[in-house]
A and B are shown apart, each in its own frame.
Chain A
Amino acid sequence: MNSEMMRTQIRALCQAPRPEGKEAFFRKVKAQGLLHRRPRTISQWEFAAGQFLYIEKWVWALSVLLLLLITAACRRSPGNEPFALTPFLAAGILAQTGRSFRWKMAEMEHAARFSLRSVLLARLFWVGVVNTAGLMLVVLLVRPCFSYSLIRVFLYMMVPYLTAAWLGSVYERKQRADHGWGSVLICLLSSAAFAAAPAFLAGLYEERLTVLWAALFITMAGGLPGSIRNWIARMEEPVWN
C-alpha cells in the first residue's frame, strides 16, 4: 500500500457519526448575530510594520551618522581603521533590548496580546535590517577605494559589527537592568579590539587569512539568531524584583 492510499484508507476508516445539533446551533448563532460580529485583530506583520514608527529617532540618526562616517573614513584613508567603527552600529540595536525596561513599559507590554517578546523582536528586526542593509550599501560604495576584493571588504565590515551585536546580546541576556550602558561599553571594547588587533596579529588583513574572517562571519551570523532566541525565551521569566 503506498502512502497516498494509506491516507485515503485512514480517512475512510475513521468516520464519526453525524453531528445532530449542527443546523440548530448555526440557526441559533445566526439569530443572535454572533457570526459576523467578531472584532478583528491585526496580523503579526501589520503589528511588526507598525512598530517601525515607534523606534526612536536618535537610533536612525546614529545609524545614518555612523554609515556616513564610515564611508567618509574609507574614502579618505582606505586602511583598516575604518572597519573598527562598525561595532557602534550595534549600539542602536542593543538599545532596543532594554528600552521597555528602561521606561517601565515592559510589564504592560508583557500582559498585552502581542506581548513584550513580539515588541522586542519587531524592533530588533527593523533596526537590524536597516543597519545591515545600510552597511551593505556602504560596502558597495567604498569598495573601489580599497585594493581588497568585494568579499573581503564585506567581511571586514560585517565581522566587527556582528561581534559587537553578538556579545551584546549575550550580555543583555544576563544583565537586563543596567539601562544599556553595558552594551555601549561592549561596542566600545569591540571597536577598540578590532582597531588594536592588527598590532598583535600582523597578517590579519592579508588575503591568506580571509578564510579565518569568513569562519568568524559564519560563526557570528549563525550564533546571533540562537543567542537572540535564548534571550527571548528568558523573557517569559524576567527578573522583575
Chain B
Amino acid sequence: MNLEEQYDRIYKYLFFHLHDRHAAEDLTQEAFLRFLGSRTYQDENRQLQYLYTIARNLCHQYYRDRTITYSLEEADAPEAEGFEQPLLDQLLLRNALQKLSPEEKELVLLRYVNEVPVPVISGLCQMSRFAVYRKLRRILQKVRIEMEAEQDEQ
C-alpha cells in the first residue's frame, strides 16, 4: 500500500466531512499514527478498510467532542476552495449531488472521489458487495434524473 498516496485520500475524505483544512490534516495524521502503531493485516483491502475505519471514528469523535450532532448532510459539499468557476454541467451535477442522502453521499465520496475498492466499502459500511454495486448504480441513476430535471427547469 502506498501510504503517501493514501494520506492524500484520507485527507480528502476528512476534508469533505469536516470542511476544515487544519482539522482534516490533524485527524489524517492522527489516523496514520494509529494505523502505523497497530498490527497490520496482510490483506491490502483489510488494511485500507482499517485505515478508513480509524478516520471515520476520529471524525465521529471530532463532532461528538464539539457536541455538534454528527451529520453526513454536511459531507461532500465541494465548497469554494479548489473549485474553479463551474461549467453548467458541473453546476447541475453539484446540485444533484447535494440532494443525495447522507449515506449516498458517503458512498459517492468513497467510491467515485477516493476510488476505494468495492470490497473495502462493503466491509466499511457493513453491506454486501452486491448491495454496494446496486446502491452505486441507483445513485448514478438518481443523479442523472435530477440533472435532467434541473436542465428542463432552466
Interface residues in chain A, defined as those with a beta carbon under 8 Å from any beta carbon in chain B: 1, 3, 6-7, 9-17, 19-22, 25-26, 29, 34-35, 37-44, 46
Contacts and interface: CB of A to CB of B under 8 A. Distances in A.
Contacts of A17: 15, 21, 81-82
B142 to A, nearest CB: 11
B109 A13 contact: no
Interface in B129-149: 140, 143-144, 147
Given A16-B12, A21-B25, A43 B43 contact: yes
A11 to B, nearest CB: 6
A1 B113 contact: no
Interface in B1-34: 3-4, 7-8, 11-12, 15-16, 21, 24-25, 28-29, 32-33
A22 B4 contact: yes
B42 A40 contact: yes
A41 B38 CA distance: 10
Nearest to A20: B25
A147 B140 CA distance: 58
Contact of B36 (A14, A15, A29, A43): A29
Contacts of A35: 3, 36
Is the contact region of chain B dominated by helix, strand, or loop, or is it mixed?
A: helix
B32 A25 contact: yes
Interface of B: 3-4, 7-8, 11-12, 15-16, 21, 24-25, 28-29, 32-33, 36-43, 76, 78, 81-83, 86, 89-90, 93-94, 97, 108-109, 112-113, 115, 140, 143-144, 147
A42 B21 CA distance: 36
Give me the 6 closest cross-chain CB pairs, A-B, nearest first. A15-B82, A16-B12, A16-B15, A19-B11, A14-B113, A10-B112
Given A3-B140, A21-B29, A22-B7, A41 B83 contact: no
Nearest to B26: A21
A38 B36 contact: yes
A10 B93 contact: yes
Nearest to B90: A13
A3 B143 CA distance: 10
24 contacts: A9-B93, A10-B93, A11-B113, A11-B115, A13-B94, A13-B97, A14-B12, A15-B78, A15-B82, A16-B24, A16-B82, A17-B15, A19-B24, A19-B25, A19-B28, A20-B25, A29-B32, A29-B36, A34-B33, A34-B37, A35-B36, A40-B40, A41-B42, A43-B43
Contacts of B36: 29, 34-35, 37-38
A10 B89 CA distance: 11
A6 B15 contact: no
B144 to A, nearest CB: 7
Given A11-B115, A41-B39, 20 more contacts: A1-B144, A1-B147, A6-B140, A6-B144, A10-B93, A10-B113, A12-B90, A13-B86, A13-B90, A13-B97, A16-B16, A16-B82, A17-B21, A19-B7, A19-B24, A20-B21, A25-B29, A26-B3, A29-B33, A40-B42
